[in-house]
Structure 1
């Protein structure tokens, strides 16, 4: 029996998503169903034979690498501070889905929207742009959906916060959404409704937050603790 202690993984695809930074990415897949992206299959898996039959599948499992949260194996994370628990309470790494994994691997189930030559169009993404994909598997409802499953740590989806748009931001979202061919206002709403700021922060109405989606900087503030208002969408400079 082999007792190899190291294994080599290589990407079979690269994810192209709206998320240029980790801030405001949905904390679980499918929480922002309007978010779409593409998986660019890499050689030799860009061959049509690799995805033959996949058009019969509605959802797929993605195994990926947290390439911007690499683990220092000399200082492993045995405990983490999940955002779901406010960012202050510690939990064992294996009891959470924190990005600090022993081998930097993540797992998400996403909707398969279209199978194209060398590319898969998917929805409900929670992946950073450029994420390396190391495996793709079909979701099997009768085996993967366990009706008796429970998780007392996260028994229900996180509560959503109200998201409004200023007249300027609404107009900009419509214009840029048409340019990008994306439901931009829906994407912004679904991502921000999960309240991406750290739970321990109590921002004043004067404080502005921002995140890059595609080539836009989305700027918002908190008029009250229970409400977000998107102020404007600013094109990101390439300089």
Structure 2
């Protein structure tokens, strides 16, 4: 037996790469829109939805493949493999996901949402209202997750790092503040799965590589907060010379960042 589904619309907003997606919407700090398609009278179907504070989005994991029956979750169970169906892993045999997000308002065929864990362009299959009396069971047992330390780390940014982040974002680059929060504040650090390099064990200094950018941070033992110290580009001066190959088409932005925030001598 097979079923065929077609999107009713697409998410506009959020990151572009899987590494930018928050593990859950409660960890996100963003706003976006679900744009429904003009056919099939979807605008009328949205009537009366505006009175709900949250909605369920049924969507397609369109950028995830290669599911496995057991996985290593990113939040503290890295020393063991968990059965896929006991996790929220995005790698599913049928790439369908659900997410509870905040509803801001409905305008025509546009559903404005806040704090979501979806990527820009994600296909949406359905929208349902979140009904607290039917959907919330805060005292329910959570299996293997009840064994985890639920302490969440705070994440702070040095003023210098925030300056670079804002500059990159204002020039059309990735949102490195969101990327740092996704990779550092909502999951256990795991060099085997993240692009992490230990720079100084005594100082708890680490380097996170996110695409062509580098994020330097300090991570003292839990529950001490993580602090992002510095952001810089991963290209060398030679790689940024005119005429050098530019496979990611981002070297001009890296050149602007280097001019605005000169690296230490010799870097």
TM-score, normalised to structure 1, is 0.76
CA offsets per residue over residues 21-59 of structure 1, 9 Å max, x none?
111422122122x22221111232574212111111110
Residues 222 and 175 (structure 1), Cα distance of their counterparts in 2 relative to 1, 3 Å cut: closer
Residues 100 and 176 (structure 1), Cα distance of their counterparts in 2 relative to 1, 3 Å cut: closer
Contact map agreement 1:62 1:133 (CA 8 A) in 2: yes
1:171 to 125, 148, 163: 163
CA drift at 1:166? 3.0
Residues 81 and 190 (structure 1), Cα distance of their counterparts in 2 relative to 1, 3 Å cut: closer
1:70-89 alignment, distance < 5 Å: 70-71=65-66, 77-89=68-80
Residues 224 and 190 (structure 1), Cα distance of their counterparts in 2 relative to 1, 3 Å cut: closer
Count of residue pairs brought into register by the alignment: 222
CA RMSD of aligned residues (A): 3.3
2:98 to 107, 111, 121: 107
Structure 1 residues without counterparts, runs of 5 or longer: none
Q: Which has the higher contact order (CA 8 A, sep 6+)?
A: 1
Name the larger-Rg structure. 2
2:23 paired with 1:27 = yes
Please give the secondary structure, in 1, of the residue aligned with 2:32: strand
In terms of fraction of residues, the more helix-rich structure is 2
Aligned to 1:205: 199
CA offsets per residue over residues 149-196 of structure 1, 9 Å max, x none?
12032237843334332332223445677899xxx7975674342247
Aligned to 2:250: 237
Structure 2 residues without counterparts, runs of 5 or longer: 201-205, 234-248, 253-267
Residues 114 and 102 (structure 1), Cα distance of their counterparts in 2 relative to 1, 3 Å cut: same
TM-score, normalised to structure 2, is 0.69
CA drift at 1:147? 4.1
Contact map agreement 2:165 2:176 (CA 8 A) in 1: yes
Residues 233 and 135 (structure 1), Cα distance of their counterparts in 2 relative to 1, 3 Å cut: farther
